[in-house]
Structure 1
Amino acid sequence: MNQPFDAAQDLADAPRTGERQRPKDAATLILTRSRRSRPEVLMGRRAPGHVFMASKWVFPGGRIERGDFSAAAASELPAGDLARLVREAPVRRARALALAAVRETFEETGLLLAEPAPPASVAGPWRAFRAEGALPDLAALSYVARAVTPPGRTRRFDARFFMAGAAALLRPEPTAGCGELDEIAWIPLDETTALDLPAITRFVLGEVRARLEEPNRPLPFVRMVRGSHRIDYDDQPA
């Protein structure tokens, strides 16, 4: 079953300012685990001073960086997930999006979706990650959704959402991270509806619930076309 999307709330989350800008590539990681037979997701609350989505509960993630295009990894994306991504972007950019999701999650939460590796000294945004003695584990990722921020907003992103199980983490609990999120927690999936959520996050949480029972669901793409929100589903085999 396709998930409902609250278009009115989406416009309220990021009011129109009239600015003209192209969306920037970004990636998000949805980490899941089960506790006492209840599925949980890792979420963080954005600090109140943020220009974009202040005080909202979100998944960790952020913009792609130049260093993501050349970063080393312990494993590569599953073939089906890579195939879906390359329908939208060249292979090198598709891989960089997956790496951005892993890196941003580490920066914001301290969690490493990774395999142990000798510590390495590298330049750029992967310096702290590699110093931990880890290499990103892209094979643990599943590509589950895409969304583009509507035009005219203060920030615009072409965001890809990935899922991974907590069993692939090198350590199970988050730290304070870089401070972009002022609270980080594992939250039972059935309690997330009570949180202050952006419309797109609420929509993707519905996808998470469905995918835990139906992993091969069609992949949704949320965007605005001619002034109206639209959701297309990629139902081609992965």
Structure 2
Amino acid sequence: MTPEELQAINQKLATATPLEIVRWAISQAPEAAIVTTNFRPYEAVILHLATQVQPEIAVLWVDHGTNLPETYVFAEKCREKLGLNLKPYLPLMTSAHWLALNGGQIPMPDEVERVESFSRIMKLEPFERGMRELAPKVWITALRKEQNPQRAATLQPVMWDAKLQCLKVNPILEWTPLEMDAYLAEFDLPNERTYYDPAKGDEKHECGLHAKLVTDKS
């Protein structure tokens, strides 16, 4: 897809609501659309939006095995309430195995090499495998600009992922916690705020799922 085509699409959707953007996205490839999640806070919003349009949409979840218990409980609440067609992808190495070989503890934010190793092996590899097997033509994400300050200026509601060869659609790109909280309340959706991702190290660090694919399989 050319930059000119993307510009025209984004102009067309400039005043669209998140639900309207999701409807447009899924209409582009009804049989080949997916939504990704990590069950961090507010993820019920994008999952509810996607399933309102296509209840059976595939939900790709990379479960690296070191989520907090609250995250797994939240994931199950979302699955039950929304009837999610959940597609979990797990690393080829268990979290216990990785931890045993890498100091025994989840990496801390300042441990750059350990964070990058965890990200590559425990998240990026299963993500790449999941995207390859599900082969989406439309990928719906929960990206929001406030979560990606380093890349906010480059983000658009509709983008083209050249590596995955699919449309990458970010319906809630402009939403702040105010809109997210209001949506959760309106639809009585679950939430949890104790999420921690060892592959990111800190809240603003880019873990890589939205930036690159794995090339190193080691």
Same fold flag (TM > 0.5): no
Higher share of residues assigned strand: 1
TM-score when normalising by structure 2: 0.30
Higher share of residues assigned helix: 2
TM-score when normalising by structure 1: 0.28
